Amino acid sequence: MKIYILDSKGISNPINIMESESISELKEQVKEKYKMNGNIELLYNGIILDDNSTLDELDIKDGMTINFLGQFKAGLNK
């Protein structure tokens, strides 16, 4: 299926993925597409998505859009 990732700039990018894949697997595809490392957060219907859930479990279907909140670094900046 094809879902769309909406980034903070308002740009929507398609990602092809199986409904049985986990959010963790989706995050890897998003990081690859945006050429990023580290932790990222994805948001759907106002909820930050859990890495262990599958798209099917979350009722995410073909053509839906997930918000990409960006990359976050652990720890405090000094």
**The predicted structure's pLDDT at residue 72:** 52
User: Does the residue 23 lie in any domain?
Assistant: yes
What CATH number has the domain bearing residue 20?
Answer: 3.10.20.90
Q: In the prediction, which pLDDT does 75 show?
A: 46
- When divided into structural domains, the chain yields a total of 1
Give CA separation, 78 vs 28, 63, 75, in Å.
29, 42, 9
pLDDT at 69: 84
Query: Residue 77 falls within a domain, yes or no?
Result: no
pLDDT at 64: 97
Bridge partners for 48 per DSSP: 43
Write down the pLDDT at residue 78.
41
User: What is d(CA 6, CA 65) in angstroms, rounded to the nearest whole number?
Assistant: 7
Residue 40 lies in a domain: yes
For residue 66, the enclosing domain spans 2-72
What pLDDT is stored for residue 66 in this prediction? Answer: 97
Regions of the chain short of the pLDDT cut 70: 71-78
* Cα separation, 60 vs 74, whole angstroms: 28
Contact call for residues 2 and 15 (beta carbons, < 8 A) = yes
In whole angstroms, give the CA distance from residue 48 to residue 68: 10
DSSP 3-state of 13: strand
Q: Tell me, what's the pLDDT at 8?
A: 85
